[in-house]
Amino acid sequence: MENELRNAIEAAIAAAPERKFTESLEIAFTIRDVDLKNPSNRIQEEIRLPSGRGRSVRIAMFAGGEMATKAKAAGLEIIDPTTIEDLGGNRQRARKLANSVDFFLSEIPHMGTVGRFLGIVLGPRGKMPRPVPPNLDPGMMAAGLKDTAIVRSRDRMTFHAAFGTREQSLDELNGNVMAVWNRVVGRLERGSMNIRSCYIKTSMGPAVKVEVATS
CA-CA distance, 101 to 137, in Å (whole number)?
Answer: 20
Encode pLDDT of 113-122 as tens digits.
999 999 999 9
138 & 98 share domain: yes
47 and 65 belong to one structural domain: no
* pTM reported for the whole predicted model: 0.84
Asked whether residue 69 falls in the same domain as residue 140, the answer is yes
The span from the CA of 183 to the CA of 151, in Å, is 9
**What pLDDT score was predicted for residue 29?**
97
Specify whether 140 is located in the same domain as 154. Answer: no
Cα separation, 197 vs 195, in Å, equals 6
Nearest to 164 by CA among 60, 57, 16, 73: 57
Domain span at residue 23 reads 2-54+147-209
Q: Among the three residues 145, 163, 193, which one is the final residue of a domain in this structure?
A: 145
Q: What is d(CA 166, CA 157) in angstroms, rounded to the nearest whole number?
A: 27
Residues 6 or more apart from 79 whose CB is under 8 A from it?
60, 61, 62, 63, 87
Q: What is the pLDDT at residue 214?
A: 61
Q: Give me the sign of the Cα torsion angle 140, 141, 143, 144.
A: positive
CB-side neighbour CA atoms (13 Å) of 161: 28
Kindly give the parts of the chain with pLDDT less than 70.
Answer: 214-215
Residue 75 domain flag: yes
Separation CA 191–CA 172 (nearest Å): 24
Residue at 214 is within a domain = no
Q: What is the CATH number of the domain that holds 135?
A: 3.40.50.790
Q: Give the sign of the dihedral formed by CA 143, CA 146, CA 151, CA 152.
A: positive
What per-residue confidence (pLDDT) applies to 175? 97
